[in-house]
Amino acid sequence: MPIQMLAAIDVGSSEVAMKIYQFSKRTGIQEVEYVRSIVELGADTYNTGIISYDTARELCGVLGGFVEKLKEYRIEKYVAYAGSAMREAVNRDLVLDQIRLETGLNVQIIGNAQQRFLVLQSLAGTMRQFEALTKEGMAVVDLSSGSLQVSVYAEGVLQITQNLKLGSLRIREILADIEQQTTSFVRVMEDYIGNELRTLQRLVIRDYRVKHVIVLGEEIATLLNAVNASKNRESFTASQFEKFYIKLMRSREEDISKKYNIPYETATVLKPSMIIFKNLVEMLGGEVVWASNVGLCDGILADYVRSNHMAKNTRDFTEDIISVTRQVAKHYESDMDHTQNVEQLSMAIFDSIRKFSGLTQRDRLLLQVSGILHDCGKYVNMMHGTDNTYYLVLNTEIIGLSEAEKRIVANVIRFNSNGEVPEYAEVSGEMDHMDYVRMLKMAAILRLANGMDRSHLQRIQDVRVSVKDNELKIMANTIYDITLEQGMMESRAHFFEQIYGLRPILRQKRRG
């Protein structure tokens, strides 16, 4: 293929970075340039809630320089994402408009779950030990300036993932005034961070234990890898990591900056970072600590490569998404036998009409997620279970799903209880017309599948689904009385027929 180029731009909380990649058949994928500049958006957002005009101008100046680089390389394809500092700023829309007017760049705000998923994709693609470590038990601790993401793998798949507003820069800004009032600021940070992490342990981590802990972050990776290089090793044992922690905590920021050749501003946030890492290694029972410098720019590249089928043997994260979704359902004490039955019936119906439904394999995953989560809301209140599930899904991070996809899932569950097709006006603030149609098609399927286990007794498990003469024929191979399920099918057929033009018919084939 001819040489192609991609620019990945990360508008972060403490710095703005751009990596330029080149793709060719002869040399493969190469990083040809990496530029970065400190712009502390987070110092504004985490203190005042807004990005000041002066900071916005500084940001535009840096991005303007990036644009000149794009022209120099004649690059047309770029992806520019902004994270938590921009996402949480009250005046984010004004700042993004200012960037567009002054530089011509279209910067998109990315949700936390999507951002962390991109980084995980990059880590899986670049760390040769990744798959092996997931099987042995592994945690990925992705610490940015604005927040912390902890993802735990066991038996090869993702088990839990949780985000906390516990970023290194955010901590320094929150505690800045206290620093001048104490001679033991490290102890103050340890107390503040320890309280947040103990809550994480009590509510999320619980009894999870791992052998390996991977810490992410360019600066921390620079330090750890520098130490490893001097000792000719790839990783730390937990005790080696603790010794390095003690040494770093006793060092001054000025000395850290000089010794490891990093900006002073960066050195000032290394101590809270190390406190977080050390606490999590201990909480998770980690025996080996690894460091990686993958970031959002690398994640943008990984997603581009995956989307354009430019690499072989990339990790399929579908099972990770499903695994995490099941853990969410268990957390809210869903009837797991029922949700599994509804999930399987949904998939059977989906597959039977896939060819003419216009739905994709990605939609199949979203429907599967909807089936797993649809019962969660009863944990809050049995009287309004569906509505509660809708709000729980919207406020739950499902890593691997974009915010738009999460809204589709929430509404598939919400409208699977409707007898009539909802009008677009009911969801116009959440999705465009195309996603609205996709959502309706999935809701109609979930509605049928849910009705087929209305008793929550799984009387229908083995089905054969076919389409003939404008009918969706579902043949249930079961010895049980399915009068209730057939009645539910009759009452739910109208919604499905309005969407697909097919009349659902449930018949029973008794086992001999």
Same domain, 269 and 359: no
**DSSP assigned state of 435:** H
Residue 189 and residue 227 share a domain: yes
Which among 110, 99, 14 is positioned nearest to 65, based on CA atoms? 99
CA-to-CA separations, 300 to 117, 237, 395, in angstroms, rounded: 10, 31, 25
* pLDDT tens profile 89-142: 999 999 999 999 999 999 999 999 999 999 999 999 999 999 999 999 999 999
Going by DSSP bridges, is the β-strand pair 28-38/138-143 parallel, antiparallel, or unpaired?
unpaired
Q: What is the pLDDT of residue 315?
A: 83
pLDDT at residue 512 is higher than 60: no
Whole-model pTM?
0.88
Name which of 92-101, 188-197, 222-231, 397-406 the model is least confident about: 222-231
> Which one is predicted more confidently, 217 or 359?
359
Residues 226 and 244 in one domain: yes
In the block, which residue shows the tokens 């690894």? Answer: 290
E runs forming strands in 222-313: 236-237, 288-292
Please indicate, yes or no, whether residues 349 and 455 belong to a single structural domain of this protein.
Answer: yes
Q: Is residue 39 part of a domain?
A: yes
Q: In this structure, what CATH number is given to the domain that contains residue 439?
A: 1.10.3210.10
169 against 219, higher pLDDT? 169
pLDDT of residue 511: 56
CA separation for the pair 206, 343 (Å, rounded) = 28
- Tell whether the model's pLDDT for residue 280 goes beyond 70: yes
Given phi > 0 = left and psi -120 to 50 = alpha, else beta, which region is 206? left
Is the residue at 35 inside a domain?
yes
- Going from the C-alpha of 118 to that of each of 115, 164, 176, 293, the distances in angstroms are 5, 18, 32, 14
Q: How far apart are CA 472 and CA 349, in angstroms?
A: 9
Q: What is the CATH number of the domain that holds 159?
A: 3.30.420.150
pLDDT at residue 209 greater than cutoff 60: yes
Contact 18, 297 (CB under 8 A): yes
Task: State which amino acid sits at residue 159.
Answer: Q
User: How does the average pLDDT of the chain come out, rounded?
Assistant: 91
**Helix, strand, or coil (residue 152):** strand
Q: Which of 278, 294, 310 is the last residue of a domain?
A: 294
pLDDT of the residue at 31 = 94
Of the residues 51, 82, 110, the one at which a domain ends: 110
Residue 1 has pLDDT above 80, yes or no: no
What's the rounded Cα separation, in Å, for the pair 278 and 382?
A: 42
> What is residue 16's three-state secondary structure?
strand
Question: What is the mean pLDDT of the segment spanning 364-380?
Answer: 96
434: confidence class by pLDDT, cuts 50, 70, 90: very high
Q: Based on the fold, state whether residues 130 and 85 are members of the same structural domain.
A: no
Give a yes or no: residue 305 inside a domain: no
Q: 148: alpha, beta or left, given left = phi > 0 and alpha = psi -120 to 50? A: beta
Domain with 16 in it: what CATH number? 3.30.420.40
294, 310, 345 - which closes a domain: 294
| Confidence tier at 306 by pLDDT (50, 70, 90) | confident
Do 261 and 367 share a domain, yes or no? Answer: no
**Alpha carbons within 13 A on the beta-carbon side of 256:** 24
Q: Is 235 exposed, middle or buried (0-12, 13-18, 19+ CB in 10 A)?
A: middle
pLDDT at 323: 95
Residue 455 and residue 348 in one domain: yes
| Shared domain check, 340 and 288 | no
Pairing type for strands 28-38 and 78-82 reads unpaired
Least confident of 84-98, 128-142, 306-320, 334-348: 306-320
pLDDT over 90 at 319, yes or no: yes
394 & 327 share domain: yes
Domain of residue 428, residue span: 318-509
In the predicted structure, residue 230 carries a pLDDT above the cut 80: no
Domain annotation covers residue 10: yes
pLDDT value of residue 510:
65
Question: Tell me, what DSSP letter sits at residue 452?
Answer: T
| Angle at which helices 53-73 and 92-103 cross, to 10° | 40
Kindly state whether residues 334 and 470 are assigned to the same domain.
Answer: yes
Helix (H) or strand (E) holding 476: strand 471-477
- Percentage of the chain modeled with pLDDT above 70: 98
For residues 460 and 349, state if they share a domain: yes
Domain count, the chain: 3
Does residue 299 form part of some domain?
A: no
Mapped onto helix, strand or coil, the DSSP state of residue 4 is strand
Asked if residue 389 is part of any domain, the answer here is yes
Phi-psi region of 28 (alpha: psi -120 to 50; beta: other; left: phi over 0): left
Looking at residue 2, what is its pLDDT?
59
Same-domain check for residues 280 and 322: no
**Would 306 be classed as within a structural domain?**
no
**What phi and psi values does residue 151 have, to the nearest 5 degrees?**
-125, 125
Would you say residue 445 lies in a domain? yes
